Amino acid sequence: MILWHYELNTPMGPMRAAFDGRGRLLELVLEGFDPRKTSPLPPREQREAKRFLDRQIDAYLAGTLRTFTVPLDPQGRPSHLRIWDTVRTIPYGQTRQPSDFAAWLGLDEEVVVMACASNPIALLIPAHRVVLPGEGPLPKALRDLESGLGWRKPGA
């Protein structure tokens, strides 16, 4: 259940973070977030939460952070949760194909693609490390960052 949200300004552009009452991140999105589902985080807690997440996102985009430590609680179908847990084990700078996950988890490749495409916690569940057919420019920009080319905002 999403309780609180706040907005972040990142080098990737504005993002919205939503989390539960225990401080676990439920969503981190660039767009498509409905703030009417939640209440704005009270100012004091917002400062603390933003500081922690902002530092980690900035360090990741600077190439100095490889593993996020923000507590997560993604919401989704059981098969998607399994896929997202497995995606989080892909080492920084490496990629996988959806067919790899389908074979490892005994799932249909289409389910893997759908789970990665509907990832509710961008960056922290690194679905950009799964190369999807027809994906937009952001996943490639994140893979380029992780391969040592540095952060370049797509379209900039």
Delineate the domains of the chain, giving CATH numbers in brackets: 4-61 (no CATH), 78-149 (1.10.10.10)
Asked whether the CA dihedral 25, 76, 123, 16 is positive or negative, the reply is negative
Tokens of 128: 């950009």
Q: How far apart (Å, rounded) are the C-alpha atoms in residues 132 and 62?
A: 25
Give the other-Cβ count within 10 Å of 111's Cβ: 18
At position 51, the amino acid (one-letter code) is R
Measured in degrees and rounded to the nearest 5, phi and psi for residue 22 equal: -95, 5
Q: Which pLDDT score, from 0 to 100, does residue 19 have?
A: 78
8 A C-beta contact, residue 98 and residue 116? yes
Q: Which pLDDT score, from 0 to 100, does residue 46 have?
A: 59
- Residue by residue, pLDDT tens for the chain (156 residues) are 557 777 777 888 888 888 777 778 888 887 655 555 555 656 566 567 678 888 999 999 999 999 999 888 899 999 999 999 999 999 999 999 999 989 999 999 999 999 999 999 989 999 999 999 988 898 999 999 999 998 888 876
Q: Which pLDDT score, from 0 to 100, does residue 30 have?
A: 76
How many distinct helices (H) and strands (E) make up the chain? 5, 4
